[in-house]
Structures are given as structure tokens and as C-alpha cells.
Structure 1
Amino acid sequence: MHDPSRWLMDLCALGLTQYEAKVYLALIRRRSSTAAEAARAATVPRQRIYDVLASLFERGLVLTRPGRSTQYAAIDPKEAVDRLISEQREALDGLERSAGDLARDLAPSWSSGQDVADPLDFVTVLRDGAPLRQSRDEMCGGARRRLLIMEKRPAGDRRGIEPAGEPAGTAAKPGYRLRSTLRDLRAVFEYDLLDEAAGAGEIALLAAQGAQVRLAQDVPMRMSIADDSRVLMSLTDPLAAAESVTTLVVEHTELARFLTHAFDTVWTTAEPYDGATPASG
């Protein structure tokens, strides 16, 4: 089927430029042509025809016949197509070798990069509400060896320690059950929390599960430390006009150990809790 436009596209797909394909197709229609004749037949600009013919000659697709005016002739189309396919194979082989070298060169960087994480991957930022309560419950319920808890009423908050969205005066209902494997289970609460149902309820629940509980006039911050490796701490924004608390969950052994020393300092100055009332004070 004669379809010159398809022939042109196929030759271009085999690696010829559009001008090269047009000139080759013009040359196969005659035994030989001068450069000017080839330019007219192929509708290629005269100023480009010699560059195009030189490229076709270098690729072995065109022969020259010397004379008063140099004549150009196309080689047999089957041979031309075979040459172009061979060029494509060689290019593909070269690309495959280069791609293999590239993959080998990139592999060490990729392998070492698998050990590189976000520098703050060990820190999770939470706001008051369900995510905070869930994270606290997961930490406390998941602790296996040691769990240290400090609780205080946020400044200006008369609801005790209920998470945001829960009505004031309801008893705390932790969503966790402490593990029996805990060897060190201690909690320090501010005295003021006994005045609220939520605070008193949580203190009683912890004590019922075997926690050593103490009370202090002032607890510096809300904090939980699990297994000397995980810390949940609530930080009050000192610049905010209204109460604004950001809670961090940090997986960091050194920080957990340092804050354990801070907890022990508060613990030694706190007073034992005995039932529903402080033992002294």
C-alpha cells in the first residue's frame, strides 16, 4: 500500500530526521539526482540539502556518483532498513550498558539512604483531644517495665484532667489496663486534682492497679515516661494570650532518662496518697 506519510513516519521512527527521511524518499524515485533536484523533490530548503545528503551518505544510505555535477542515489530500501535497525540495536545496547552502569553507581547511595530518616521522625506533635488521650492510653497500656506519670491541672482549667470535649465532673476512664509486668509504677498528682471528680477518679484507678501515688502542691508539667524510652509531655505556650498546650510524644532514650531524674526530684518532695485524701498536708 502506497502511503508516503506513513513511510515518512516509519523512517523517522527508525532514527532519521524528517528532512533525511524526505530526501531518501525523493531519491528512491529516481536512479540518481543532483542536490538541487533532490531538494525540489523533497521540498527541503536548498541551504539544508547538502548537510542532509552528507548525513545520509555517512550513514550509508546514499551513494554518490561523480561527474560534472555530483549525483546522489539511494541504496536498496531493504538494505537501508537493515542498516537503520542495526543502528537502533547498537544504540539500545549502548543504552542498556549505560543503564546498567548507572544502576550500579546509584545502588550504594540508595542503600545508604534507606537508613536515613526524617531528623524528627522520633517526635509526634499532638493537640488536646482524642489523639492525645489515645496516645496517652497506648503509652500507659503498653509500658512493660516502668511507667512514671505526672499530672496537673492546666492553668485556668477548672475541669481537672478530662480531655477536651468531655463534660466537667465526669470520672476519668482510662482506655488502658496496666500490665502486670510493671516493676516501677509511680504517679505524682497535684493536690488540686482531688477536688475534681475526673482527677480523683484517675488517682483512685491508678492506685487500685498497684501504682504508688504521691501528691504535690506544684507539679511542673503533665508528663508520662514509659520504659525509659518514650516520653509524652504537654507544654504550655508561654506567649499565647489564651491557654495553648502542645503535647509531644518523643521516642528518645536519653531524653527519657534525663526526665526520669526530673520526675524523681518531684517524687522525693511529694507526699504519699492514702485513699481519698492526702496522707499529710
Structure 2
Amino acid sequence: MLLDEKTLVTLQRLGLTYYGARIYETLVLLGPSDATRLSAEADVPRTKVYDILRRLETEGWITSERTRPITYTARYPREVLEERKAEFNAAVDETANDLSMLYDNQMDKENPRVWLLRGSGNVTVKLLDMISRSKKSIMLMGSLYFADEIGPLKTQLEYAKKRGVTIRLITQKSIQLKDGEIDILGQLSPAVSEVKVYGPPYSKSAIVDDRELLMLFPRLDNNVPDEDSIVAIWIPNTAVASNWASIFNAVWNA
């Protein structure tokens, strides 16, 4: 029987072995079948088919009826795949939490390293990464936003806001770049908790959870930022980030 390879790959990603995926897909196509027929139609060695069927039943992919010979039936695909997807997503979330905790613990060691980033693309990647890991607070100050950055940034801020992260933004209403003007307030204000219109137009800083700081500096060409010459520093250091957060708060309160 000719089976769909894409389906087999997906089933394996959800935990089935190659032969297990072939047996399950074959059962879906054939309907209730015995081991002999399944071995032939799925092209699975007869010596392996019973062990595979027992595993599939134990893991909830199929059911069996104690007839002679035993008849096997695939569980409804949408139901069983939704169960596996939920288990997979839960495992991903748990792994993300564990790794994030290790990352946070590393940052708590007050490693004094400073990383230099060049170019607006590299800076945007780092900013989005910081925001995606935020847990408590995000402080954004300045108006140096780019056309390719504003959309993905808004999306990440919306996700953070849904997680309960407090987001404050100090910025000017817009910024003029070589390719045109960007409406900063119109784009970002729906995705943040609070906004104040103030701040220098040609710089930007981001403080996440009082743990890490990103600061951007451009080269100006006729009073327009040159995106290709953007330089930023990323400092994953609680002391530095907390001190800069106090400056942010002073500007905010003023």
C-alpha cells in the first residue's frame, strides 16, 4: 500500500516509530484489520508487527477487539492527534521554562560582558529575543525604530502584554527615515501598557525585567539615521539594567 510520506513524518514527530506510523496510517486507510493483513499492507516485518500493535494500543493510538484473530482499529485521527499535540506543546513549554530558568540564573551571576551589535537587522533580532523572554516589565525609551522592525516588535509586545508583562514606552510620535516616516505611536501604542510622548529622536534603549539592557546609537546623514551604520550594545547585567531603569523612571516621572 502506498502511504503518504509527509503524514508518516508528522506522526513520527508526534512520537511514533517509523513502523508504528505505517501501521497507524494503514489502519486509518483500511479500517479494522488483523495483524497479518496489517503486516502485509503496511510492509512491516511479521516479527515486529505484534510488538508495534501492543505499543500503539498502550499509547492510545488504536483499540483492539478480542476476536479470532484479534481485530485492531485506529482511533479517530483528529482526537488522537489533538491529544498528542497538547502533550507536545506542554513538553515544549516545560523545556522553555527550564531553559529560561537556567538562562536567568546565569544572568544573575552578574556576568559583566558587553556585546556589540552592528546593523539594524542584528539589533532587531536581539530586541525581539529580549522581549520574547520578558516576564515582568519592559521599558522602551527613544524613537529609533525601523520599518522592518515595527511590525514584528508590535507582535512580540502584544504577546508579552497578554502574559501580564507591564510595558511602558517613552517616544516621539514618529521618526523620519530615508524611506519615509514611521508612525511610532500609531503602531506601538495599542501593544503597550502606558505611553508618554517625549525623548530623543535618534536613540533607543530597552530594559527587560531589570536584567538586561539594549542601547542603540545611529550615524546621522542630514539629520536622518543611517540604518546600515546602527551600533548597539547589549548588557545582560542586573546592576547596569537596574541603574538605567532608574533613569527611565526619572524621565517618566518628569
TM-score normalised over the length of structure 2: 0.44
Question: Which fold has the larger relative contact order, with Cα–Cα distance below 8 Å and residues 6 or more apart in sequence?
Answer: 2
Greater fraction helix: 2
Provide the TM-score with structure 1 as the length reference. Answer: 0.40
Give the structure with the larger strand fraction.
2
